[in-house]
Amino acid sequence: MDEPRPNPAGTRIRLIETAERLFAERGIHAVSLREIAAAAGQRNTSAVAYHFGDKRGLVTAVYAYRLEPTNEGQLRRIAALDEQGRGKELRALAEVFVHPMAERITRATAGADAPPSHFLRFVAQALYVEGIAPYDLAAAPWTRALHQLRLRIDACLAELPAPVRADRWRVFIGLTLHTLADHERALQSGAATPGRRTDLLVANLVDAAVAVLTAPVSPATHALLPPQTPTGLAHHSRPPDPGGTADD
């Protein structure tokens, strides 16, 4: 009987999912490519380099693997908002970002056979590693929805000075991802249960996100702005990063 042939696509997915879990649990720098290959059941410790080149390529592959379906869903939500005439409503736009991320967690806890979710904790670890996060939202097809949301949310805040809007986006992303990453951990460990409590957290998170984005600019903050800081939609030389590490 012939031996089964290797499945490169299956190997690649195992490596991605294993890397996602280990990065989420221990951090990006604390995990070697050899460890990932071994944990994925690969006798060849160079398997990661073969499929992804280096750690940056592997991290990008994790992002793409998880965000490609999320991106498509978010684009559909944005299109639906446009059809309803709500494509410029700030709360609706915030929900387009928050809800798919939260649904990822609830799907993972929907049944005993569902694989656990590690993606939000992976993102929380990867966001602040220099050169790792997807800084240019317009560059990759799997961040097209994020790019649209970034521009639309920025337009909703046009009355705020440009540096304030840039900082509000960073706080919005950080608040959302770190809150959901912590809830992902709590659900997996049994410290929290899915259902009404998760729904309340998500609704409250959207409330808090809108409040963060729209909070009045205090005199103290105004005093720290550069002289003659304009309001109105900012024109960036490159789109701002989703995690808040690049200067706008």
- Give the residue ranges of DSSP H helices in 27-161: 33-39, 47-52, 55-83, 90-108, 119-126, 144-156
Token reading at 240: 């701002």
Percentage of the chain beyond pLDDT 90 is: 69
Residue written as token pair 């995990």: 31
pLDDT in tens, 143-165: 999 999 999 999 999 999 999 99
Amino acid at 116: P
The whole-model pTM stands at: 0.86
Q: What is the DSSP-derived secondary structure letter of residue 217?
A: P
The percent of the chain in helix, strand and coil, each rounded to the nearest 5, is: 65, 0, 35
pLDDT in tens, 220-244: 999 999 887 666 544 443 334 544 4
CA-CA-CA-CA dihedral for 124, 125, 127, 128, to nearest 10: 130
Domain ranges in the chain? 63-224
Q: What is the DSSP-derived secondary structure letter of residue 161?
A: B
pLDDT in tens, 118-129: 999 999 999 878
Neighbour tally for 191: CB within 10 Å: 10
Report, as an integer, the average pLDDT of 72-95: 98
Token reading at 61: 């592959």
